[in-house]
Amino acid sequence: MSQHHVDGIQRTCCRLSLLGIVVNVAVIGALIFTYVPPARASATLLLEEPYGHMGFFTATGHAAVYLSGVCAQSPVELRPCAPGETGIVISRYDGVDGYDWVAIPLVPYLYAVERPENIPLFADARMVLQLRDRYRRQHLRAVAPDGKNGGTPGGNWYELVGSSYDRTIYGFEIETTPKQDAALIRTLNSSTNRSHFHLAWRNCADFAKDILNFYYPKALHRSVVADVGMTTPKQIAQTLIRYTARHPELQFSRMVIPQIPGSMPRSTTVHGVVESFFKSKKYIVPSAVASPIFAGCVFAVFVGTGARHFDPAHDALVFAADGERELPMDREDRQTRQKELEGLLAEADAEGASGNIRKEWTRLESKAQLEFDAEDRPVLLMQVGERLVSVGISADNIFSSSAPSQLVRELIEARLEAELRRTATPTVSERDFARDWKLLQQARNVEGKELAGNVR
């Protein structure tokens, strides 16, 4: 073969190699630009602690389901979420304009505001009522219309928003798929959605059970023994945990959504029906007197079902409103910070820096008017002496108000005291506490500069 032919073959091979490289690059590029990674969807059972003391049935709490891939076209119509949306909480309610279920976006459901940065650092009953009614007027008139003369209506609509002001909530999250979400949307949108609520067999826990069983058939069930045939939030949480233990291939996680600090009564431990009866002295004591055998049977059921060993906070991360899950503060760090805060409070008292504001705070707050600043963040207008001051009550606006720096410091200290209070449930994440501690340092620095200026 001549050198001319050899050179021609080499040139041809070189062209073919280059062509192959170009084709491969083009194919890879097309795959990169056309491939969209599947969105991770999930369904989270929300086990919500009870509040109030009206009887052993109310001690079972409330159940709802948070769907990260499903959003609300309206409170009673669902659609797939667009990028950046955080999903909805859906549950069954009694006395909400005749509807069986209502869907609310996650942040409003928990905090009665639309953005995480607007969440108050603390809350009282009057403020919560105003936050809820404001959100209702803006978004929920279709299911909770105005009362007489345009006032706030009665009924149970208040359960739709601001749940974290009333109670601590535990979440049990299991993975789902967009295909499953789409099927659920079709099913619920085509339902009649008319209320047939019944405490014994069509309650909020039954609805949550049915939603999760839609994704994973026969995963959850009621307990004939522990709950005398009723479906309770605690029972379906326990059966979901057992189901995921049998299916380790499914992604599963736990979280806790702490109750917002403030003067609202703290929620209590969630129980099953028999457990509630056994732990309520006003029921079990008369029963034991009337029939020791019956009381003994109740005790046997309580012990035999293992209800006392269930800890919903076990291995739970602390939920943050931006969607992140954070480690809770550990015991040692909590104790260290508690001593530091106690030292700061004692120092302020010794110097007289607390004045009368701490003692007068409850009175000032009870007469304050809730308003919103230019960026829609909550503020309280309150009378301090002869001054009408504006007190920012979110982490974003607490330093952008006309409130005395001493008052700002007192508010942050009160929140930190609540976060560090010893409880069996994680109440704060390391990240949130670090933010609040930094706010306290800022408040002390501002107050120090003001005092120094006054001395001059």
Comparing 158 with 426, the larger pLDDT belongs to 158
CB 293 within 8 A of CB 256: no
Asked whether the predicted pLDDT for residue 150 surpasses 50, the reply is yes
Least confident of 212-226, 239-253, 385-399: 212-226
Q: Rounded mean pLDDT of 357-381?
A: 79
Where is 296: in which H helix or E strand? helix 292-304
pLDDT of the residue at 60: 83
Percentage of the chain with pLDDT > 70?
Answer: 75
Confidence of residue 343 (pLDDT cuts 50, 70, 90): confident
- Structure tokens of 314? 């076990």
- Identify whether the C-beta of residue 356 lies closer than 8 Å to the C-beta of residue 410: no
Tokens at 323, concatenated: 């969607």
User: Mean pLDDT over residues 404-432, rounded?
Assistant: 84
Burial of 2 (C-beta count, 10 Å sphere; 0-12/13-18/19+): exposed
Residues 278-305 have pLDDT tens digits of: 455 545 445 554 555 544 554 555 555 5
Mean local confidence (pLDDT), 169-189: 97
pLDDT at 190: 96
Q: Write the pLDDT tens digit of every residue in 35-54.
A: 333 457 999 999 999 987 65
Q: What is the mean pLDDT of residues 119-148?
A: 94
What phi-psi label fits residue 203: left (phi over 0), alpha (psi between -120 and 50 degrees) or beta? beta
Q: Which of 86-95, 112-121, 439-448 has the lowest mean pLDDT?
A: 439-448
CB 178 within 8 A of CB 38: yes
3-state secondary structure of 363: helix
Task: Look at residue 272 in the predicted model and tell me its pLDDT.
Answer: 60
Taking all residues of the chain, what is their mean pLDDT, rounded to a whole number? 81
Q: Which residue has the higher pLDDT, 55 or 389?
A: 389
Which H/E stretch holds residue 67?
A: strand 62-67
pLDDT of residue 283: 52
* pLDDT at position 135: 97
Residue-by-residue DSSP string for 30-46? HHHHH--PPP-EEEEEE
How far is the CA of 396 from the CAs of 131, 175, 256, in angstroms?
A: 17, 33, 23
Q: Which residue has the higher pLDDT, 161 or 349?
A: 161
Question: Please, which pLDDT band fits residue 345 given cuts at 50, 70 and 90?
Answer: confident
Mean pLDDT throughout 22-30?
Answer: 40
User: 208 pLDDT exceeds 90?
Assistant: yes
Q: Is 366 helix (H, G, I), strand (E, B) or coil?
A: helix
Question: Which segment, 199-203, 329-333, 350-354, is predicted with the most confidence on average?
Answer: 329-333
**β-pairing, 77-80 with 88-92?**
unpaired
What are the structural domain ranges in the chain?
Answer: 1-35, 41-319, 329-455
User: Residue 138 in contact with residue 82, Cβ under 8 Å?
Assistant: no
Provide mean pLDDT across the span 150-155: 90
